[in-house]
Amino acid sequence: MRKRLLNIVWNLMTLLVLMSIAGTVFLIVQIFHDPTTPLNPFPPPTIPAPIVLPTSTITETPTITNTSTPTLPATSNPTSSSTTTPIPSPTETPTPTPTITPTPTGHLTLTALSSLSMYDIRTALAATLTVQAIHQIQTYAVESRYGPNPSFAIADNGAVSNQWATAIPQSFNWVKPREDMIGYYYYWGPDPFGINKKPVYDDHLLMHFETKGKGPKDGGVYFLRIRAIYPNGVENPEWSTVFIFKYDKSPPGTPELIDADRAANGVWRKYSYAPTFTWSNATDNASGLSYYDLYWGPDPDSNTPTGSQRDTSFTPKLESGIFYLKIRTVDMAGNTSAWRRLFTLMVDNAPPETPDASTISVYPPYPTNSYPISAPTINWKATSDAQSGVNFYELSWGNSSDNNTPNFTVVSPTFTPPPMTTAPGTSKTYFLRIRAVDFLGNASDWSTPYTIVYRPS
């Protein structure tokens, strides 16, 4: 009897365990099916409603239509024996203005992004990636069923797809994407979505297409598009652009000088600043402007660039001498305009050379410490000036060896002083000091090239 009672207890406990297992499995299935069920002790956060991305594209133009026709009040000619009661005109009820509902375009702007939260941005990016993934899956499905198209081609002249070139290729080559490809349809022209219904059959591993010189004659863009043909009438229904050819054979325009910052063109000047030269933007109707080649130097015939830049202004280092600013334009295809000289800057901030004492000569010749003639003629070698040139010489003639105040001016390198004087039986020393002055007023240092002792005979 006792053993039978224990069996009943154990059977009840076994039944409870089995029921607990069944309840647990049921609970797991319910939570897996619906995580938001009240049975879930740890439900996920509530998913926000889908967002509509802002856009600046409006696909509907609202129109306000007046559906009622206003009625003018009846009028009558009043007489002295009767009066008229005016009939009020009905009030015009305008049609409510429709609400403009923007249609998403699939493109996010900076303004739109700035109004979104990080969650919204992540959601938008996830949607974009999903669209790309779907496109890749569709492409893979098409290629798996019909066979792939070539993905790229190589131009025989070295032109690079989607980059500007200056010569039209004679042919393009590509490798079969699959060995059983037997031909292709091709389009070579300016339409990025162009097609052609004429097939070309080619069983070579390296397929070949000849342009026969056809291309954008005056510059522009051509597209090489291919659609593959496989055996048993299988054709890829999609077109693939394997090369984008950009052609520009025309040189760009040459800019014009706009401003020279108060500098004088082709005239000697003294400058306390380095002038800034500004020119107009050059034009190019095809590939567009790339940069400017500049020449800045003393050679008026040089066409070797000393620098390149995209800015439309240039400030040189200020130096004395003659400097030429020359420019040419280079476009994105590498075409260049002719060189143009924009400016000739002539700077003279340097003094002439100091007169040399070793070049002095006196007529008539006598020893300097015993000169009997009161008015000799003194000559010296002309001083050079590399810029504007020597204009005149300032002289200091007298009995002082350090006088810097000129008392004579001569244009030629020769001087006949006034008669020297001294008491009988005595001598007196005279000093000739010289400095050169150029055409812009730059003066050399003073020199004392000659000392003479006047001793009358």
Does 267 score more than 90 pLDDT? yes
Residue 196 has a pLDDT of 93
Q: How confident is the model at residue 86 (pLDDT cuts 50, 70, 90)?
A: very low
Tokens 């409603």 belong to residue: 49
What does pLDDT average to over the chain? 83
Same domain, residue pair 185 and 137: no
Which residue, of 144, 163, 190, is where some domain finishes? Answer: 144
| Mean pLDDT lowest among 72-76, 106-110, 284-288, 312-316 | 72-76
Amino acid at 383: T
Residue 264 lies in a domain: yes
Residue 216 has a pLDDT of 92
Same domain, residue pair 119 and 158: no
Same domain, residue pair 279 and 230: no
Between the CA atoms of 172, 176, 182 and 185, what dihedral angle is there, to the nearest 10 degrees?
Answer: -40
Same domain, residue pair 200 and 288: no
Same domain, residue pair 154 and 211: yes
Greater confidence (285 vs 349) lies with 349
Same domain, residue pair 140 and 206: no
For 145, the 3-state DSSP assignment is: helix
Express each pLDDT in 425-445 by its tens digit: 889 999 999 999 999 999 999
Residue 166 lies in a domain: yes
Residue 317 has a pLDDT of 96
How many domains in the chain?
A: 4
Residue 101 has a pLDDT of 42
Does 381 score more than 70 pLDDT? yes
Residue 88 has a pLDDT of 44
Question: For residue 321, what are its two tokens?
Answer: 């001498």
Q: How confident is the model at residue 64 (pLDDT cuts 50, 70, 90)?
A: very low
Same domain, residue pair 366 and 435: yes
Greater confidence (103 vs 222) lies with 222
Residue 161 has a pLDDT of 97
Same domain, residue pair 204 and 289: no
- What is the average per-residue pLDDT within 340-356? 96
- What is the average per-residue pLDDT within 225-237? 95
Same domain, residue pair 388 and 343: no
| Mean pLDDT lowest among 125-139, 339-353, 379-393 | 125-139
Percentage of the chain exceeding pLDDT 70: 77
Residue 119 has a pLDDT of 61
Which residue, of 195, 221, 247, is where some domain finishes? Answer: 247
Residue 360 has a pLDDT of 87
Domain assignment of residue 133, given as a range: 110-144
Q: Residue 377 belongs to a domain with what CATH number? A: 2.60.40.10
Residue 158 lies in a domain: yes
Does 227 score more than 70 pLDDT? yes
Read off φ and ψ for residue 11, nearest 5 degrees. -65, -40
Question: For residue 165, what are its two tokens?
Answer: 């070139």
Residue 97 lies in a domain: no
Residue 219 lies in a domain: yes
Same domain, residue pair 273 and 289: yes
Question: For residue 150, what are its two tokens?
Answer: 């070539």
Residue 115 lies in a domain: yes
Residue 144 has a pLDDT of 67
How far apart are alpha carbons 457 and 446 in whole angstroms? 32
Does 288 score more than 60 pLDDT? yes
- What is the average per-residue pLDDT within 411-419? 94
- Among 9-18, 34-43, 209-218, 430-439, the range with the most confident prediction by mean pLDDT is 430-439
Residue 436 lies in a domain: yes
How far apart are alpha carbons 346 and 438 in whole angstroms? 14
Greater confidence (46 vs 53) lies with 46
Same domain, residue pair 165 and 196: yes
Residue 138 has a pLDDT of 56
List the one residue out of 202, 239, 244, 254 whose CA is nearest residue 220.
244
How far apart are alpha carbons 181 and 196 in whole angstroms? 18
Residue 39 lies in a domain: no
Percentage of the chain exceeding pLDDT 90: 58
Question: Kind and range of the H or E element at 178?
Answer: none
Q: How confident is the model at residue 104 (pLDDT cuts 50, 70, 90)?
A: very low
Same domain, residue pair 361 and 450: yes
Does 405 score more than 80 pLDDT? yes
Residue 94 has a pLDDT of 45
CB 436 within 8 A of CB 403: no
Question: For residue 134, what are its two tokens?
Answer: 């779907």
Per DSSP (E only), the strands in 74-198 are 154-155, 164-165, 171-175, 183-189
Does 56 score more than 90 pLDDT? no
Which residue, of 295, 317, 347, is where some domain finishes? Answer: 347
pTM: 0.61
